[in-house]
Amino acid sequence: MQEVLVDKERCLGCRSCELACAVAHSASKTLLGAVGEAKKPLKRIFVHQTEAGKIPLNCRHCAEAPCIDACIAGAMHRTAEGVVTNTGGPAECTGCWMCVMVCPYGVIRSEIAQRLAVKCDRECLDEAGEPACVRACQTRALKYVEVDDFSREKRERFLISLKS
Amino acid sequence: MHIVIIGNSAAGLAAARTVRKVAAGAQITVISDEPGPAYARCLIPEVLAGSRDLPGIGYVGADFYRQYGIELLAGQTVTSLDVEKRELTTANGRSIGYDRLLLATGASPVAPDWPGADLPGVFTLRKADQAAAAGRWARDCASAVVAGGGLVSLKAAYALKERGLPEVTVVVKSPHVLIKQLDAQSAALVEKELAKTGIKFVYGVEPVAAVKGPQGAVQAVELADGRRLPAGLVMVGKGVRPNVELARRAGGRVDKGIVVDDNLATSLPGVYAAGDCIEVTDMLTGDKTTSGLWTLAVEQGRCAGYNLAGLPGSYPPPLTRLNAAQFGALPFISAGDVRGGDETAVYQDGGVYRKVCFRDGRLVGFIMVGKVDRAGVYTALIKQARHIAGRLKDKVAGGTVTGADIVYSRTVPVR
Amino acid sequence: MVEKSIDQATLKMLKKAQRDGIETVWDRLAAQEPQCGFGQLGICCRNCNMGPCRIDPFGDGPSQGVCGAGADTIVARNLVRAIAAGAAAHSDHGRGIASTLLASAGGDTADYPVRDEAKLQALAAEYGIAVEGRATAEIARDLANAVLEEFGTRKGALQFINRAPEQRRAVWDKLGITPRGIDREVVESMHRTHMGVDNDPVSLILQGMRTALSDGWGGSIVATELSDVLFGTPRPVKGSSNLGVLKEDQVNIILHGHEPTLSDIIVHAARDPELLQEARARGAAGINVCGMCCTGNEILMRHGVPVAGNFLQQELAIVTGAVEAMIVDIQCVMPALPQVAGCYHTKIISTSPKAKFPGAEHIAFDEHNAMETAKKIVRIAVENYSNRRAEKVNIPADQMEYMAGFSVEAILEALGGSLNPLIDAVKSGAVKGIVGVVGCNNPKYIQDNSHLVFVRELIKNDILVVGTGCAAIACAKAGLLLPAAAEQAGDGLRGVCTGLGIPPVLHMGSCVDISRIMTVAAAMANALGVDIADLPLAGAAPEWMSEKAVSIGTYVVSSGIFTILGTVPPVLGSQNVAELLTGGAEKVVGAVFAVEENPAAAAKLAIDHIAAKRKALGL
Ligand SMILES: Cc1cc2nc3c(=O)[nH]c(=O)nc-3n(C[C@H](O)[C@H](O)[C@H](O)COP(=O)(O)OP(=O)(O)OC[C@H]3O[C@@H](n4cnc5c(N)ncnc54)[C@H](O)[C@@H]3O)c2cc1C
Ligand code: SF4
């Protein structure tokens, strides 16, 4: 499966990925259109400042995803492509926030009024199959790669998972 | 290999899925005394409220059992086990052999011991059919009393209000609702939100009897202080008890629940157990306790699945307090130990409340009300049991910690 | 490559650039994409070192900078700074011309005699400077001093605003935006946008308007009028345009930038017999001086010098491989030029002490040694002809004739000495109204496409177009500056144009010469006894990119003229500021901005606006 990996040395904290993500999830799909939309689009990637630098973080689509375990409605599931999402599955999200409670990356947002958990759903791929955040990254701090193709030593520079 | 699973819910299904994933050729049979395919048990309050019907809370797709090659024997109660013969018997006399067995029998509500507890109109809320029956009953009622201030009780009260009952009163023995999950301040916020719908609260007393009306059904609840509350419907939420009887009668070890080892094996040969029916060790306190959470049932089911398929895997002591819910416009999450701890940091601004509790420099619990984003980072910090100090601690206390902080914080876990 | 330009010469040279391995502005744009959304919306601020800060446009992150500035404040501050930069550019250009006039008057330079004495006298009269019986040099000195004084004046208001009708001046006075001094407004804008000074978006934008007015009715008008005095007031003149004007057998010199001070004298220097002889000795048939951008416009207006192209063609001119020297001064000169030139034999020669380019040769140019320096520069070009490599040369054949030179004076002459025939034509409806089409090219939009679609649509609807800058060059290249283009006009406009022998699109000069358009607008309003805002006029910058354009648009709107922007300005991060500019301003200055990227739709906006204004006037 392809994953969005982060080369944290390269992140400048410009938040372009955040904007691109929100725009990709807007009705108009354009920045200038999206800012005018009554329902503001929601980003699913978050650039954080840590002692180790600036780090963009979005769903890792974990192999044994705690959010899937926790979902009491059966909405959170893994698609055939390996994407963990709570839309388009066997059940509807009811906004119980179990997934928000267990996601160790803190990348599932709670849309309280809508009673909807919102997360990276990869519904943003362009014609080349690249996610909006990766495409938006000017410094190539975000890369969309087949994880198996990744040499070990290179992989170490990237954010892989909490457990490692 | 024939793997039989008793229980077609969180634990049972997670186990079945896992077995199928790692042992493609295994024969899998799932038996349940409930009819039909699995449903989302936690959503039965919506059935009570009338906002969804039973198919509306389905937990798996229509094609699930066929797709996973699982034989589902629904509506069949297992009455005994013969662990020597590796065979079980159902209420209709059918014997089913197995190579490995999983007990994922869940828990049942504690029934009230007061007089009138068996009157028509007195319900507990654990199964979909109970929810549906209570919902039907509620149509003709003007008032209801909910006994208990726990999560299931509050969900029931909220659902009865949604159903349109003019008068719903929650009787809570403790000084505030959700005594296990919240402190007084945060409980007050939840109570306020529930009160907006017209739900009333009575604290510090318990019902002592259900009073029979002229039609032979319940018409009121009598409280320990002598007060009588009119009640065309009574919902009793006094907690649950693990379903341990099958294991006990087969000679298995039972304490707070079915006793299992690290691999979720019971003391009976070839028999594993997972979910609400087992006893677990709380990772924070080291105490033996029941499991009681959907999340844990799924985790355990998956772990049991590996073991059933012959791939040993151990189940570490879980965090047994993990609750998330929303009433009205107010979400809240509570995890871990929210009363103990030697240091707390509290933030409150109107309807937003946050409390984080540390013990020995580790995060042991938190409450978030109103805003719950990134709660999972806190949960992860509790589970990691790492020492938290310096800037990380400031961020944890200030509510600004992010996943990135823990991914790149190099502090060595304490255990 | 169709999406890059509709200009065939551009497309051909882009192919050549690719073959030659040259990176152009389009490649660099592609490399910049996706561009920063915060910048596009105008919600990033670097005005202090607590920052940089940015506002989350989706209300999802910070709504204030470290100092507490919200989106409204930040967008307004950034806009005002852009206006200040644009106004500064025009005004500093104007100052340069005024200084040259002073030097000329003081006898410090023989190379810049006063070429239009009548205009000198008229301007002197406007400034209340005695002319009767005085020597030209004396009048010129007094005028130059009076104009230079306007930059830091303490007299309260600029002189040229008196050209505006009384009603307009009353609007400015009431709002407190009458420009007080050319430098002062820029300085005050920079001050107000400093961290922790003016934070109210309305107050900021009013100052932005005042600053812009100090450009339109100050710096720009100074540049135009004094250039006319020194270099001659343009009269209708013919020439040709586009890259095809470069000559395979001649020394090609391109003059690029903005000030006429340098370009005008180079035109003369290139006629020097000695240099021509030298060129011939090196095998060239002659010396071909061509213009580019607004420098091109200055010499095209006055001498009919061929113009090689507009903003997006500056690199492509070099790609022809046939340019011996590109001589640049200030503004709109891409820093990339030396790099492109590095792949050919072309020499980039910078001349302004204000504008240096790493990789270019710098030959300081000032009015005192103008002719000498000009000749030196031309000689470098001539000598460089020997380095030209035939195999690298490929000049596209595309070129188009134009008729330009429509200064206010030239228009009056064409009309027989008064504006009345034009006003009558407007009254009768033969000409429905007048739209000024100005501004740059922008690689985010198909080169020249917006200009041309917009202009063609207008003339078809009997709207007379007046143009300047790169917009006018786009029209030149498309043949719209020829009297014959009247055939593309509606019946009314065609009749007027054929009667007067003028094109339906009048080239009025460089970007500072938008002041000429303002002068005409003011004169029309005065003649009718109404405010400028009442006239059936509109302005448009279909492909704008520079900060100067922001200043221009703002002074045009502040002068009461509806203005359509074809590229989106970075203000959408604040709904309040965007609303103010496109809606609220109507009640304040009697005009608004509109933003419309689709040129046909933009034309409709202009046509409808003019119809509404006509109706209000009872026409
Ligand atoms: C109203 C409500 C709300 C809840 N909300 C939450 C929540 O928000 N979060 C959370 O984490 N948890 C919640 N829970 C708890 C959660 O539902 C349980 O923890 C979870 O269902 C446990 O799953 P399980 O598979 O262990 O057992 P169960 O879901 O109880 O399933 C056991 C199954 O086994 C069957 N069975 C038992 N004995 C036999 C037998 N002898 N023969 C055949 N079949 C048998 C039962 O009928 C049942 O179908 C809620 C529970 C209720 C009732
Ligand atoms: S002036 Fe305010 S908004 Fe701008 S950088 Fe400084 S703190 Fe940030």
Can you give the three-state secondary structure of A60-88, one letter per residue? CCCCCCHHHHHCCCCCCEECCCCCEECCC
Average pLDDT of chain B to the nearest whole number? 94
- How many domains does the structure of chain A reveal? 2
Find, among C269, C513, C499, the residue nearest to C405 by Cα.
C513
Q: Say how far apart CA B260 and CA B262 lie, in whole Å.
A: 7
Query: What's the distance, CA C508 to chain centroid?
Result: 10
Interval C39-67 mean pLDDT: 94
Read off the tokens for B149: 């201030």
The dihedral through the CA atoms of A100, A101, A106, A112 has a sign that is positive
Does B317 sit behind a cis peptide bond, omega within 30 degrees of 0 on the bond before it?
Answer: no
CA-closest residue to ligand 1 atom 48: B7
Residue A36 Cα to ligand 2 middle (Å): 24
State the catalytic residues of B.
Answer: 42
Which residues of A are less than 8 Å from B42 in CB distance?
72-73, 96
Q: Which atom of ligand 2 is nearest the CA belonging to C196?
A: 1
pLDDT band at B412 (very low <50, low <70, confident <90, very high): very low
CA-closest residue to ligand 1 atom 5: B42
Tell me if B407 and A55 make a contact (CB, 8 A cut-off): yes
Find, among C365, C494, C351, the residue nearest to C431 by Cα.
C494
Asked if B345 is an interface residue toward chain A (Cβ–Cβ < 8 A), one would say no
pLDDT at A9: 82
Tell me if A18 and C34 make a contact (CB, 8 A cut-off): no
pLDDT digits over C537-594, tens only?
999 999 999 999 999 999 999 999 999 999 999 999 999 999 999 999 999 999 999 9
How far lies C396's CA from each of C25, C256, C270, C361, C421, in Å? 19, 19, 24, 27, 42
- Taking an 8 Å Cβ-Cβ cutoff, which residues of chain A contact chain C? 14-16, 18-20, 22-23, 31-32, 34-36, 40-43, 135-136, 138
Under DSSP, the state recorded for B409 is -
With a cut of 50, say whether residue B109 has pLDDT above it: yes
Under DSSP, the state recorded for B181 is T
CB C126 within 8 A of CB C394: no
Q: Which structural domain range is residue A94 located in? A: 62-119
Does an interface of 3+ CB pairs under 8 Å exist between C and B? no
CATH number at C243-392: 3.40.50.2030
Residues A67 and A79 in one domain: yes
pLDDT at B167: 96
Asked if A62 is an interface residue toward chain B (Cβ–Cβ < 8 A), one would say no
pLDDT at A154: 47
Q: At what angle do helices C201-214 and C182-192 cross, to 10 degrees?
A: 160
Residues A77 and A112 in one domain: yes
Share of chain A above pLDDT 90, in %: 64
Class of C415-617 per CATH?
Answer: alpha beta
Under DSSP, the state recorded for C583 is I
Beta strands in C257-393 (DSSP E): 287-292, 325-328, 347-350, 361-362
Q: Which of A51-60, B9-18, C132-141, C179-188 has the lowest mean pLDDT?
A: A51-60
In the three-class reduction of DSSP (H, G, I as helix; E, B as strand; rest coil), residue C473 is classed as helix
Share of chain C above pLDDT 90, in %: 94
CB C180 within 8 A of CB C153: yes
> A63 exposed, middle or buried (CB, 10 Å; 0-12, 13-18, 19+)?
exposed
Tell me if A69 and B298 make a contact (CB, 8 A cut-off): yes
Interval A146-153 mean pLDDT: 57
What's the length of chain B?
415
Q: Enumerate neighbours of B (3 or more CB pairs within 8 A).
A: A
Q: Say how far apart CA C29 and CA C33 lie, in whole Å.
A: 6
Which residues of B are less than 8 Å from A101 in CB distance?
322-324, 333, 335, 372, 375-376, 379
**How would you classify the pairing of strands C463-467 and C287-292?**
unpaired
Share of chain C above pLDDT 70, in %: 100
CATH number at C71-231: 1.20.1270.30
Consecutive H or E run containing B271:
strand B271-273
Residues A115 and A142 in one domain: no
> B390 exposed, middle or buried (CB, 10 Å; 0-12, 13-18, 19+)?
exposed
Residues A111 and A126 in one domain: no
Which residues of B are less than 8 Å from A105 in CB distance?
376-377, 403, 407
pLDDT digits over A81-137, tens only?
999 999 998 899 999 999 999 999 999 999 999 999 999 999 999 999 999 999 998
Residues A71 and A140 in one domain: no
Residues A66 and A113 in one domain: yes
DSSP β-bridge partners for residue B88: B81, B96
With a cut of 90, say whether residue A52 has pLDDT above it: no
Q: What angle (nearest 5°) sits at the alpha carbon of residue C213, between those of residues C207 and C218? A: 130
Query: What's the distance, CA A42 to chain centroid?
Result: 11
SS (H, E, C) C55-112: CCCCCCCCCECCCCCEHHHHHHHHHHHHHHHHHHHHHHHHHHHHHHHHHHHCCCCCCC
Q: Say how far apart CA C569 and CA C554 lie, in whole Å.
A: 12
Which residues of A are less than 8 Å from C37 in CB distance?
16, 19-20, 23, 31
pTM for this model (two decimals): 0.83
Q: Which atom of ligand 2 is nearest the CA belonging to C74?
A: 3
Q: Say how far apart CA B315 and CA B263 lie, in whole Å.
A: 6
Most A CBs within 10 Å, among B311, B407, B408, B409, to test the A interface: B407
pLDDT digits over C384-417, tens only?
999 999 999 999 999 999 999 999 999 999 999 9
With a cut of 80, say whether residue B306 has pLDDT above it: yes
Does C34 sit behind a cis peptide bond, omega within 30 degrees of 0 on the bond before it?
Answer: yes
pLDDT digits over C1-48, tens only?
458 999 999 999 999 999 898 999 999 998 888 888 899 999 999 999
CA-closest residue to ligand 2 atom 5: C51
The runs of H, that is alpha helices, within C330-388 are 337-341, 370-384
Please count the other Cβ atoms lying within 10 Å of the Cβ belonging to residue C215.
Answer: 33
Tell me if A101 and B375 make a contact (CB, 8 A cut-off): yes
Binding site feature residues of C: 36, 44-45, 48, 53, 67, 258, 294, 332, 440, 470, 511
Q: Is A13 left (phi over 0), alpha (psi -120 to 50) or beta?
A: left
The dihedral through the CA atoms of C220, C221, C224, C230 has a sign that is negative
Average pLDDT of chain A to the nearest whole number? 87
Residue B262 Cα to ligand 1 middle (Å): 22
**CA-based Rg of chain B, rounded to a whole angstrom?**
23
SS (H, E, C) B114-175: CCCCCCCCEEECCCHHHHHHHHHHHCCCCEEEEECCCHHHHHHHHHHHHHCCCEEEEEECCC
ipTM above 0.95 for this complex: no
- Could you tell me the CATH number of the domain that includes residue A21? 3.30.70.20
Higher-confidence residue of C431 and B398: namely: C431
Read off the tokens for C226: 């004094």
Is the minimum distance from the CB of C51 to ligand 2 under 6 angstroms?
yes
CB B379 within 8 A of CB B335: yes
**Neighbouring residues of A99: CB distance < 8 A, sequence distance ≥ 6:** A66, A67, A70, A71, A76, A86, A108, A117, A119, B376
Which residues of C are less than 8 Å from A118 in CB distance?
none
With a cut of 90, say whether residue B413 has pLDDT above it: no
CB C379 within 8 A of CB C465: no
pLDDT at A148: 64
Under DSSP, the state recorded for B413 is B
Residues A39 and A109 in one domain: no
pLDDT digits over C198-244, tens only?
999 999 999 999 999 999 999 999 999 999 999 999 999 999 999 99
Q: Give the sheet arrangement for strand B200-203, strand by strand.
A: B122-124, B233-236, B143-147, B167-172, B200-203
Q: At what angle do helices C293-303 and C469-477 cross, to 10 degrees?
A: 70
Q: Say how far apart CA B406 and CA B394 lie, in whole Å.
A: 13
With a cut of 90, say whether residue B37 has pLDDT above it: yes
pLDDT band at C153 (very low <50, low <70, confident <90, very high): confident
Please count the other Cβ atoms lying within 10 Å of the Cβ belonging to residue C225.
Answer: 29
DSSP codes, B354-393? EEEEEETTEEEEEEEES--TTHHHHHHHHHHTBB--HHHH
With a cut of 90, say whether residue C109 has pLDDT above it: no
Residues A6 and A80 in one domain: no
CB B229 within 8 A of CB B142: no
With a cut of 90, say whether residue B398 has pLDDT above it: no
Residues A80 and A49 in one domain: no
Q: Which atom of ligand 2 is nearest the CA belonging to C66?
A: 7
Q: Is C293 left (phi over 0), alpha (psi -120 to 50) or beta?
A: left
Asked if B322 is an interface residue toward chain A (Cβ–Cβ < 8 A), one would say yes
With a cut of 60, say whether residue A58 has pLDDT above it: yes
Q: Which of residues 356-415 of B touch A (CB under 8 A)?
A: 371-377, 379-380, 391, 402-409
Q: Say how far apart CA C431 and CA C46 lie, in whole Å.
A: 48
Most A CBs within 10 Å, among C33, C36, C60, C596, to test the A interface: C60
Under DSSP, the state recorded for B254 is B
Tell me if A8 and B408 make a contact (CB, 8 A cut-off): yes
CA-closest residue to ligand 1 atom 36: B105
Asked if B1 is an interface residue toward chain A (Cβ–Cβ < 8 A), one would say no
Q: Domains of chain B (ranges plus CATH)? A: 2-108+240-309 (3.50.50.60), 122-236 (3.50.50.60), 329-409 (3.30.390.30)
Under DSSP, the state recorded for A21 is H
Select from A48, A96, A112 the Cβ nearest to the Cβ of B324: A96
pLDDT band at B409 (very low <50, low <70, confident <90, very high): low
Does an interface of 3+ CB pairs under 8 Å exist between A and B? yes
Tell me if C572 and A32 make a contact (CB, 8 A cut-off): yes
Interval B326-349 mean pLDDT: 93
Instruction: Please give the backbone phi and psi of residue C133, each rounded to the nearest 5 degrees, phi first.
Output: 65, 15
Is the minimum distance from the CB of B45 to ligand 1 under 6 angstroms?
yes
* Residue bearing tokens 């033969």: C430
Which residues of C are less than 8 Å from A31 in CB distance?
37, 40-41, 57
Residue C205 Cα to ligand 2 middle (Å): 18
Q: Write down the number of H helices and E strands in chain C.
A: 26, 15
pLDDT at C2: 52
Read off the tokens for B265: 């094996």
Residue C76 Cα to ligand 2 middle (Å): 13
Residue B106 Cα to ligand 1 middle (Å): 5
pLDDT at C504: 98
Residues A9 and A54 in one domain: yes
What amino acid occupies position C146?
A: A
DSSP β-bridge partners for residue B363: B358
pLDDT digits over B148-189, tens only?
999 999 999 999 999 999 999 999 999 999 999 999 999 999
Q: Say how far apart CA A159 and CA A45 lie, in whole Å.
A: 14
Taking the domains of chain C in order of start, what are their residue ranges?
8-54, 71-231, 243-392, 415-617
Q: Say how far apart CA C438 and CA C559 lie, in whole Å.
A: 16
Binding site feature residues of C for [4Fe-4S] cluster: 36, 44-45, 48, 53, 67
Residues A23 and A42 in one domain: yes
Tell me if B376 and A50 make a contact (CB, 8 A cut-off): no
With a cut of 60, say whether residue A163 has pLDDT above it: no
Q: Do domains C243-392 and C415-617 have the same CATH topology?
A: yes
Read off the tokens for B333: 């999450």
pLDDT digits over C273-305, tens only?
999 999 999 999 999 999 999 999 999 999 999
Instruction: Please give the backbone phi and psi of residue B48, each rounded to the nearest 5 degrees, phi first.
Output: -60, -40
pLDDT at C169: 97
Q: Say how far apart CA B126 and CA C587 lie, in whole Å.
A: 66
Is the minimum distance from the CB of B96 to ligand 1 under 6 angstroms?
no
Q: Say how far apart CA C319 and CA C59 lie, in whole Å.
A: 47
pLDDT band at B367 (very low <50, low <70, confident <90, very high): very high
pLDDT at A149: 53
CA-closest residue to ligand 2 atom 6: C48
Residues A103 and A129 in one domain: no
